[in-house]
């Protein structure tokens, strides 16, 4: 009976997660299939599974795993949904709303050191290295009470220092011994230097935690029940652009389960890739990677041996886990580099291309790898400087890169387009505006509260930048509470104002009509959200048009910026062609956009920008096309009018006799087509050269 109730509670949580995820995100794409991966690793045994994922969005990450895992496993029935038990911070389980939902879904609580820290009694006035043992520090306190507040194994953190030292022995109330094992000399020197004043330094105490019960519960779930576990090995959510150091616990869970039950455990990396983690109606790609199976082998025997052998086994498996996780996400050192990667991807991809979110992510991953690998290359350094300068100019003009081709900055063009844009916005507001305006107070309130919570989270954390990872979750939590109350109040007002006599004479009917009307209002508001997205997108284009009316130099700045953008696109394309084969061995066979499509897009861009074809030249065009252009084709491509027949897609070509879209019947089974003497693997819809 308890299992049945627990399972239905889990289904409710999954349904709620599905509803929230599809309301908050405009598009959720899932990449990866367990069946395909099992064909690769040739292993379809039943075993416990650990899903490991990056933790960049506090509560949405777990919800997205619940929502998408059935697609990955090939399950099409809601009643047969896969059940995942998440490792959850114990402090979260103690919260009323989110803790109750987590417990209902079968979460396993773990106490985190940062959640049980306490302020130390007194102050620390000195850290001295012992003469007979340089790996031990003598901790000297004043007004402290070490004998009752510290135990061997506890850790202390000096105020102003992010590193901790572990207590090895408590000597008396004002003296204790701390070990520096695992810390390098520079770190030890930094910790000691933080205690340099006569007044002393305040400190916090992190007690030693015993996680044996939690590990036993996890091992039994994986080994005995062949269950599924969701783990975020970074330990907590973060808004960094790179992974935090992974906690060893996930490796201990896998090795310990195999050691105890002699059953293999499958580890599946999951990449949660958000277009904008804090933005309402953004998109997300959930990419499932190739599973890794932990068998009962030498690594498990080393784990059972203990000591250095155990540490070596855990460290080795943790490195493999980190590598597999990096294969399904895009990591970079900072946000500026992340913005540059997105810019490179946006300029490299032809505007009319019909690529999936998976392809966009793979392009960003390749650009991130290339920028990191060739960071010392002169051309890459020049590209970074040019890209950062271009983005700075965009910010000064108050526009986005995507708006450059959509806005006519001239006075006449601004007047015409501004009039049409305002008329279009007014029409959209008339259609969906009333419902959107009704929901506006909740949106403003949720945004205000989430921003405040983000600042508080960033102030408490040592790994968050500005708390962007908690904004989306806080918006949802606020909405879960306020939406039912707010729309119930509106429904009650409409019922009373619309039918006052009916309400007075038939109060029992109110119990039915009130929730129905409130639910209807919520449903209609959700359906109006796409209109709201369109209104916002159109409104963003109004600002540059207004500036075009009031600024005489705006058109010239626009023209120069467009020229700089074209040069930047050309530089990116040349670098891809130059360094791509060095970075990726099978570059031509694994490229996402064909060389022909890129070259034609560059040619069309330059043909539109240059009216005089006499000195027109696209560097590397012949090499990209892999063929020589005839006179007629060159005149058509580089016409003096600068106008070309618009292709039906980026992969089609105005040269109807030489280029055309290949059909499925005409393509070889491996999608390989021959151009000259080279075979090139093309994606669906690429140009076939005959």
Strand, coil or helix: what is 58?
coil
Asked if 263 contacts 80 with a C-beta cutoff of 8 angstroms, the reply is no
For the stretch 219-250, pLDDT in tens is 999 988 889 999 999 988 888 889 999 999 99
Least confident of 129-138, 246-255, 278-287, 542-551: 542-551
* DSSP state string for 300-350: HHHHHH-HHHHHHHHHHHHHHHHHHHHTTS---SSHHHHHHHHHHHHHHS-
Least confident of 72-76, 407-411, 499-503, 613-617: 613-617
User: In the prediction, which pLDDT does 43 show?
Assistant: 62
Tell me which DSSP letter residue 197 carries. S
The Cα 154–Cα 209 span in angstroms is 8
pLDDT-based confidence at residue 337 (cuts at 50, 70, 90): very high
Task: Name the residue with higher pLDDT: 654 or 611.
Answer: 611
Strand 265-274 relative to strand 292-294: parallel, antiparallel, unpaired? antiparallel
Strand, coil or helix: what is 478?
helix
Sign of the alpha-carbon dihedral angle for 621, 623, 626, 628? positive
Residue 661 Cα distances to 373, 652, 683, angstroms: 36, 6, 12
* DSSP state string for 218-260: HHIIIIIS--EEEE-TTSS----SSPPPPPTHHHHHHHHHHHH
Backbone angles phi, psi at 417, to 5 degrees: -70, -35
Backbone angles phi, psi at 36, to 5 degrees: -65, -40
Task: Say if residue 262 is exposed, middle or buried (CB neighbours under 10 Å; 0-12, 13-18, 19+).
Answer: exposed
Least confident of 272-276, 622-626, 681-685: 681-685
Average pLDDT value for residue range 442-451:
89
pLDDT-based confidence at residue 319 (cuts at 50, 70, 90): very high
Strand, coil or helix: what is 115?
helix
Task: Name the residue with higher pLDDT: 266 or 432.
Answer: 266
The Cα 294–Cα 301 span in angstroms is 12
Backbone angles phi, psi at 85, to 5 degrees: -100, 125
State yes or no: pLDDT of 521 exceeds 90: no
* DSSP state string for 481-500: HHHHHHHHHHHHHHHHHH-H
The Cα 484–Cα 656 span in angstroms is 59
The Cα 176–Cα 123 span in angstroms is 13
* DSSP state string for 71-98: HHHT---GGGPPPEEEEEEHHHHTSSHH
What crossing angle do the helices spanning 468-498 and 97-104 adopt, rounded to 10°?
100
Strand 687-689 relative to strand 659-661: parallel, antiparallel, unpaired? antiparallel
Asked if 607 contacts 639 with a C-beta cutoff of 8 angstroms, the reply is yes
User: If you average pLDDT over every residue of the chain, what do you get?
Assistant: 79
pLDDT-based confidence at residue 661 (cuts at 50, 70, 90): very low
- Go through the domains of the chain in sequence order and give each one's CATH number: 2-111+212-326 (3.40.1130.10), 117-206 (2.40.30), 412-540 (no CATH), 585-597+610-689 (no CATH)
Asked if 22 contacts 66 with a C-beta cutoff of 8 angstroms, the reply is no
How far does CA 622 lie from the centroid of its chain? 38
Average pLDDT value for residue range 266-295:
91
- Three state DSSP letters for 622-649: HHHHCCCCCHHHHHHHCCCCCCCCCCCC
Between CA 179 and CA 188, with CA 184 as vertex, the angle to 5 degrees is 60
Q: String of b and e for 232-258 (b: at least 16 CB within 10 Å)?
A: bbbbbbbbbbebbebbebbbbbbbbbb
The Cα 264–Cα 225 span in angstroms is 12
């Amino acid at each position: 009976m308890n299992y049945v109730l627990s399972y239905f509670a889990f289904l409710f949580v999954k349904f709620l997660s599905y509803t929230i995820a599809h309301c908050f995100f405009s598009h959720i794409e899932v990449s990866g299939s367990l069946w395909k991966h099992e064909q690769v690793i040739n292993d379809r045994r039943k075993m416990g599974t650990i899903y490991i994922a990056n933790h960049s969005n506090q509560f949405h990450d777990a919800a997205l795993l619940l929502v998408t895992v059935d697609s990955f496993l090939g399950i099409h029935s809601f009643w047969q949904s896969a059940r995942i038990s998440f490792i959850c911070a114990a402090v979260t389980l103690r919260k009323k709303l989110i803790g109750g939902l987590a417990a209902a879904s079968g979460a396993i609580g773990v106490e985190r050191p940062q959640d049980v820290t306490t302020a130390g009694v007194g102050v620390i006035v000195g850290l001295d290295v012992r003469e007979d043992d340089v790996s031990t520090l003598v901790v000297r306190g004043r007004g402290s009470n070490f004998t009752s507040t510290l135990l061997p194994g506890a850790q202390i953190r000096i105020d102003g220092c992010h590193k901790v030292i572990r207590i090895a022995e408590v000597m008396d109330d004002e003296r204790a011994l701390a070990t520096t094992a695992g810390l390098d000399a520079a770190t030890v020197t930094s910790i000691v230097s933080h205690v340099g004043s006569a007044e002393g330094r305040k400190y916090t105490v992190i007690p030693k935690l015993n996680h044996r019960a939690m590990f036993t519960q996890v091992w039994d779930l994986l080994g005995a029940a062949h269950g599924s576990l969701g783990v975020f090995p970074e330990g907590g959510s973060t808004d960094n652009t790179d992974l935090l150091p992974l906690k060893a616990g996930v490796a201990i869970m896998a090795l310990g389960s195999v050691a105890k039950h002699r059953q293999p455990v499958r580890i599946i990396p999951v990449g949660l890739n958000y277009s904008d983690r804090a933005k309402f109606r953004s998109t997300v790609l959930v990419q499932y990677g190739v599973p890794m199976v932990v068998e009962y082998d030498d690594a498990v025997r080393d784990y059972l041996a203990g000591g250095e052998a155990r540490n070596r086994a855990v460290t080795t498996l943790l490195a493999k886990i980190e590598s597999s996780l990096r294969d399904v996400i895009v990591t970079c050192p900072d946000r500026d580099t992340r913005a540059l990667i997105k810019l490179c991807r946006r300029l490299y991809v032809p505007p009319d291309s019909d690529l999936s979110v998976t392809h966009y992510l793979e392009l960003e991953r390749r650009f991130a790898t290339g920028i990191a690998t060739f960071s010392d290359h002169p051309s890459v350094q020049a590209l970074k400087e040019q890209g950062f300068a271009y983005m700075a100019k965009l910010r000064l003009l108050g526009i986005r890169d995507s708006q450059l081709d959509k806005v006519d900055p001239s006075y006449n063009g601004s007047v015409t387009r501004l009039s049409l844009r305002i008329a279009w916005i007014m029409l959209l507001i008339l259609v969906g505006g009333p419902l959107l305006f009704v929901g506006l107070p909740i949106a403003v309130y949720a945004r205000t509260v989430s921003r405040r919570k983000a600042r508080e989270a960033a102030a408490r954390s040592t790994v968050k930048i500005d708390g962007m990872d908690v904004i989306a979750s806080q918006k949802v939590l606020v909405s879960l509470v306020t939406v039912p109350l707010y729309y119930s109040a509106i429904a009650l007002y409409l019922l009373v104002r619309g039918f006052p006599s009916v309400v007075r004479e038939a109060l029992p009917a109110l119990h039915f009509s009130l929730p129905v009307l409130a639910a209807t209002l919520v449903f209609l508001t959700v359906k109006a959200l796409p209109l709201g997205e369109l209104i916002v997108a159109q409104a963003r284009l109004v600002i540059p048009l207004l500036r075009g009316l009031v600024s005489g130099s705006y058109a010239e700045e626009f023209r120069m910026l467009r020229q700089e953008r074209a040069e930047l696109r050309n530089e990116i394309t040349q670098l891809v062609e130059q360094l791509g084969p060095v970075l990726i061995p099978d570059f031509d066979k694994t490229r996402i956009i064909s060389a022909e499509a890129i070259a034609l897009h560059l040619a069309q861009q330059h043909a539109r920008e240059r009216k005089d074809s006499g000195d027109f030249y696209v560097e590397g065009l012949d090499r990209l096309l892999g063929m020589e252009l005839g006179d007629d084709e060159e005149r058509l491509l580089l016409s003096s009018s600068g106008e070309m027949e618009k292709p039906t897609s980026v992969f089609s070509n105005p040269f109807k006799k030489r280029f055309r879209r290949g059909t499925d019947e005409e393509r070889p089974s491996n999608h390989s087509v021959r151009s000259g003497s080279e075979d090139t693997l093309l994606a669906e819809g690429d140009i076939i050269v005959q």
